[in-house]
Structure 1
Amino acid sequence: QIISNCSKLDFKALVFKYMKNGSLDKWVHGSDHHLSFSQRLSIMIDVASAIEYLHHGYSTPVVHRDLKPSNVLLDEDMVAHVSDFGLARLLDEGQSTILSNNLATIGYMAPEYGLGGLVSTKADVYSYGILLMETFSGKEPTDSMFEADMSLKQWIQDVCCGS
């Protein structure tokens, strides 16, 4: 729910309701906050619903481009809200990709986006997958353990399915 807005040549902002429980980042990585399995699942369903709405809720799809735990805010009922649309782009009707020079956060960006600046709704789906793995594992995709041949995806596969 938008409370207010500001639109000037050099500044644009939307004012939303205060999110009492802060970002998902502090709940996944903070030492004094803990989420149950069902809370994590509910949050990720909320995020999936938000991304589905951005991609399919209008004739013009919105690509968020920076989906990560610090951009998921939790209200007083622990309902997730996707925030920070500073890098978001609109795709024209019938358009599936655009090129962009602005890069998203390392670790959450799809390989084709990082290599060629190609932006599509698929990039948000990739970021959602990383966010999902991070939310349930507690491991950041840029953790120092994911150097050389190990990645968050590989680590999850090893933990779940064995080496």
Structure 2
Amino acid sequence: MAFVLARIRYRRGKSAPQQAESLSTVTRERISYYELLQTTDDLSESNLIGFGSFGSVYKVVLRSGTAIAVKVFNPQLDAAFKSFDTECKVLSSLRHRNLVKVITSCSNLDFKALVLDYMPNGSLELYLYSHNYFLDIKQRLGIMIDVACALEYLHHGCSLPVIHCDVKPSNILLDEDMVAHLSDFGISKLLGEDQGDLYTKTLATFGYIAPEYGLEGLVSIKCDVYSYGVMLLETFTRRKPNEFDGDLSLKQWVSYSLPDAVMEVVDANLLTSTGNCLNKELDGVASILKVALDCCNESPTRRNNMKDVVGILQKIKIQLLAC
């Protein structure tokens, strides 16, 4: 019997060498509740790197020297623990280079946390609005293509479509190579077979919510497309969607200026070139903003799908690389 068991283990080991090699040192290392508390000084603010509606995110350096991020959910909020369950359910089956990877979870009656890959360059929001950081046109477009690829996978590459429901710059995290990763699936929704939309009472972030989502609670993959369009406008204008007064919106402000007055709405810090190259960049930005406005159409059926968005933006990227 011992010989048979040894033979079976040997065969399993030979049959999946790539799987064994792909496991990171973090996944092989057990991470206990007490180690998380110890390495964060009992969740000290000195280790805090972010926070949201349902909890806080801490940087943790394990005994091996590996840096990870730990998202700790607020035990005082029932919605927070529900959010934890949702993220575990959704992310357990997702695999894509532009999604934040969940390494493991840590859970007991009073404590729930997700252990995530650490993103050393913070969020897109940080780079857009901090005076210490800057992204040029090509970098911003690359990040938005990354996010579009993530959404294309969620909407069209999964066995059941996933609606993120909260696409915004603070949920776009950047790794050491400035590759973007979509994060925070706490209010995401899974569509069932032959289900195009569903109703929910959960509200996302003001300014990024599609009209049918905010007014009727009706969500579909087209809601993510709308939010993405708003974020695409924000990324190239450096104007937040909730900073406009009265009935004016970011979408309207940009649409009034296209196609002839792109320079009046684009982030002035982006326009550093001269001559023919400047004209190419302005044409490129105008095309990007046109894609964004199509994504933000009031009618869900008239919005782009993310497959088309990825293709269009990649073509624009090739044109801009010629500058």
TM beyond 0.5? yes
Asked if 1:24 is matched to 2:124, the reply is yes
In 2, Cα distance between equivalents of 1:93 and 1:79:
32
In 2, Cα distance between equivalents of 1:3 and 1:86:
16
Q: Deviations over 1:115-149 (max 9, x none)?
A: 01001000000000001000111000001xx2223
**Where is the strand percentage greater, Structure 1 or Structure 2?**
1
**Residue matched to 1:81:** 181
**Residue matched to 1:153:** 251
Q: Give the Å deviation of 1:32.
A: 1.3
Q: Deviations over 1:80-121 (max 9, x none)?
A: 000010110100011011100010000000000000100100
The amino acid of 2:227's aligned partner reads S
Q: Give the Å deviation of 1:10.
A: 7.1
Which of 46, 57, 67 is the aligned partner of 2:146? 46
Q: 3-state DSSP class of the match of 1:59?
A: coil
Which of 166, 169, 186 is the aligned partner of 1:69? 169
Which of 203, 220, 233 is the aligned partner of 1:103? 203
**Residue matched to 1:140:** 240
**Residue matched to 2:296:** none
Gaps of 5+ in 2: 1-100, 262-323
Distance of aligned partners of 1:114 and 1:7 in 2 relative to their CA distance in 1, 3 Å threshold: same
Distance of aligned partners of 1:27 and 1:50 in 2 relative to their CA distance in 1, 3 Å threshold: same
The amino acid of 2:134's aligned partner reads H
Answer with 1 or 2: which has the greater Rg.
2
Of structures 1 and 2, the one with the larger relative CO (CA 8 A, separation 6+) is 1
The amino acid of 2:180's aligned partner reads A
**Where is the helix percentage greater, Structure 1 or Structure 2?**
2
Gaps of 5+ in 1: none
For normalisation by structure 2, the TM-score amounts to 0.47
What is the count of residue pairs matched by the alignment? Answer: 161
Question: Once superposed, what is the RMSD of the aligned Cα atoms?
Answer: 1.7
Which of 23, 33, 37 is the aligned partner of 2:137? 37
Alignment of 1:110-149 (within 5 A): 110-143=210-243, 146-149=244-247
Q: 3-state DSSP class of the match of 2:256?
A: helix
In 1, Cα distance between equivalents of 2:241 and 2:226:
12
For normalisation by structure 1, the TM-score amounts to 0.92
